[in-house]
């Protein structure tokens, strides 16, 4: 039996895909088709894939040409699959001419003629609805955000809002967008969706007004500082068919999502403890050191660290206590212990105290180690007592990492999804709840 294997994303399956599969099938007796996973696509920077992996697999099966479908999930898998399935021929479209010659060491490589005049990229462009995005705020994160939208299809940053006319005008001139400093409602009229990147204490009001105006909202962390406010906003969005998402960028990056999948699949056994830390030395008169603007290590850095713990251990914690070093009314260092019925966890945060900035997830069989800065996850290692069994995982983390949350946000809008498994609304509410407990000084000790 002559076995043939081919690979592709197969997004928006079209005539070109079908022709290639037919030609590949004709080369042998048994055709194996590799379909890229969602995480693999994101890791390679393919952020505009329209169909998820299950839909793409079903579409390939429906052609009738594939005898077997496998999921491509990592670099180097082609060599592994060719040897694993004893493949005779590797077939791929002629637009990849020469790129896979290295596989000739393992099997025959055949470049098949592609169908001219059609591609998934072309179909996406023809059917792509462009959404006008408005940015609230013109500070540091907003300036990093605009370039990241350029790599996600269907997004146009159209306007920016800031009550400070001088700052918003400068931002608008730098990025070629409309400037608004007067009526927030006028700003909302010209956009389809809103990214809230304003100071912490304004997140609730801006998000609420945008939702009430029928706009989808992506809100920067901390989302809000009250569990009741968070639940209110999510409930409103759900009731009115709107997408509301917390912009916890690490939650949407490929590496962290694979880490969560591996841990929940049991590779380190039962999770018993998680330690997450994050620090950034801050000096001067910045917002982070201003108590009147909800400054401090907890409000600034807790959302990412709590996200990791809650994603892995859930929302049913039983106790939280806090220990802080205070200066001028803000915590320059805070340690919080979040206790669960069968596990412990802690976060260590600093804006005036330096910490390692890593993430350690300890289990009954092994542990996961993510080096600093863990929140920019592009590598982690699963470690065991027998070090020969350790495994390292490497991923792409492109740009400032904001493109992954932008892609997820607009994917939800396009596909009319109201919930996101990468950070569920109840998890976002739990994060706000723990931060609220701290701000109310519940179980809080000053050191």
Spacing of C-alpha 397 from chain mean position: 10
Tell me: the pLDDT tens digits for 165-218? 999 999 999 999 999 999 999 999 999 999 999 999 999 999 999 999 999 999
Tell me: the pLDDT tens digits for 400-428? 999 999 989 998 998 888 889 999 999 99
Q: Identify whether residues 67 and 147 lie together within a single domain.
A: no
Residue bearing tokens 């109310």: 440
Q: Identify whether residues 92 and 155 lie together within a single domain.
A: no
Q: Identify whether residues 199 and 319 lie together within a single domain.
A: no
Please name the residue ranges forming H helices in 271-373: 297-313
CB atoms closer than 10 angstroms to residue 328: 10
Q: Identify whether residues 398 and 352 lie together within a single domain.
A: yes
Counted domains in the chain: 3
Q: Identify whether residues 397 and 260 lie together within a single domain.
A: yes
CATH number at 360 reads 3.30.360.10
Q: Choose one of 71, 91, 123: the last residue of a domain.
A: 123
Residue bearing tokens 């005008």: 169
Q: Identify whether residues 80 and 109 lie together within a single domain.
A: yes
How many whole angstroms separate alpha carbon 34 and alpha carbon 32?
7
Helix (H, G, I), strand (E, B) or coil at 57: helix
Helix (H, G, I), strand (E, B) or coil at 40: helix
Per-residue model confidence (pLDDT) at position 123: 47
CB 331 within 8 A of CB 324: yes
Helix (H, G, I), strand (E, B) or coil at 412: helix
CATH number at 230 reads 3.40.50.720
Q: Is 429 left (phi over 0), alpha (psi -120 to 50) or beta?
A: alpha
The residue range of the domain holding 338 is 251-446
Q: Choose one of 217, 249, 281: the last residue of a domain.
A: 249
Q: Choose one of 123, 153, 186: the last residue of a domain.
A: 123
How many whole angstroms separate alpha carbon 222 and alpha carbon 290?
16
Tell me: the pLDDT tens digits for 43-77? 555 556 667 788 889 999 999 999 999 999 887 89
CATH number at 20 reads 3.40.50.620
Q: Identify whether residues 215 and 103 lie together within a single domain.
A: no
Q: Identify whether residues 173 and 297 lie together within a single domain.
A: no
Q: Identify whether residues 92 and 135 lie together within a single domain.
A: no
């Amino acid at each position: 039996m002559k076995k043939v294997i081919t690979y592709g994303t197969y997004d928006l399956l079209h005539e070109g895909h079908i022709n290639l599969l037919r030609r590949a099938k004709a080369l042998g007796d048994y055709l194996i088709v590799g379909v890229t996973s969602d995480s693999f696509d994101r890791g390679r920077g393919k952020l505009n894939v329209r169909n998820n992996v299950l839909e793409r697999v079903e579409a390939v099966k429906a052609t009738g040409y594939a005898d077997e479908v496998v999921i491509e999930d990592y670099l180097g898998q082609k060599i592994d699959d060719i040897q694993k399935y004893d493949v005779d021929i590797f077939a791929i479209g002629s637009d990849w001419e020469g790129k896979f010659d290295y596989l000739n060491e393992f099997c025959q490589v055949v470049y098949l003629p592609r169908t001219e005049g059609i591609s998934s990229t072309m179909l996406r462009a023809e059917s792509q609805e462009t959404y006008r995005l408005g940015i609230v705020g013109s500070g540091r994160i907003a300036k990093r955000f605009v370039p990241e939208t350029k790599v996600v299809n269907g997004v146009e940053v159209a306007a920016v809002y800031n009550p400070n006319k001088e700052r918003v005008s400068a931002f608008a001139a730098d990025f070629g967008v409309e400037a608004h400093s007067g009526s927030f409602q006028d700003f909302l009229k010209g956009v389809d969706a809103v990214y809230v990147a304003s100071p912490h204490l304004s997140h609730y009001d801006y998000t609420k007004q945008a939702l009430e105006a029928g706009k989808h909202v992506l809100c920067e962390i901390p989302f809000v500082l009250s569990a009741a406010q968070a639940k209110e906003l999510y409930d409103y969005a759900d009731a009115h068919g709107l997408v509301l998402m917390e912009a916890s960028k690490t939650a949407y990056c490929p590496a962290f999502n694979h880490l969560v999948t591996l841990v929940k699949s049991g590779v380190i056994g039962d999770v018993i403890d998680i330690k997450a830390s994050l620090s950034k030395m801050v000096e001067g008169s910045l917002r982070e050191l201003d108590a009147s603007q909800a400054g401090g290590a907890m409000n600034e850095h807790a959302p990412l660290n709590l996200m990791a713990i809650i994603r892995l251990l859930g929302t049913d914690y039983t106790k939280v206590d806090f220990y802080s070093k205070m200066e001028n009314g803000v915590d320059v260092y805070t340690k919080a212990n979040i206790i669960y019925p069968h596990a412990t966890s802690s976060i260590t945060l600093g804006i005036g105290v330096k910490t390692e900035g890593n993430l350690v997830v300890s289990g009954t069989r092994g542990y996961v180690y993510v080096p600093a800065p863990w929140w920019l996850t592009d590598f982690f290692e699963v470690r065991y007592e027998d070090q020969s069994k350790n495994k390292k995982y490497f991923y792409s983390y492109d740009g400032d990492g904001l493109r992954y949350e932008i892609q997820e946000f607009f994917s939800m809008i396009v596909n009319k999804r109201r919930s996101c498994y990468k950070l569920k609304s109840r998890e976002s509410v739990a994060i706000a709840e723990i931060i609220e407990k701290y701000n109310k000084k519940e179980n809080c000790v000053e050191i």
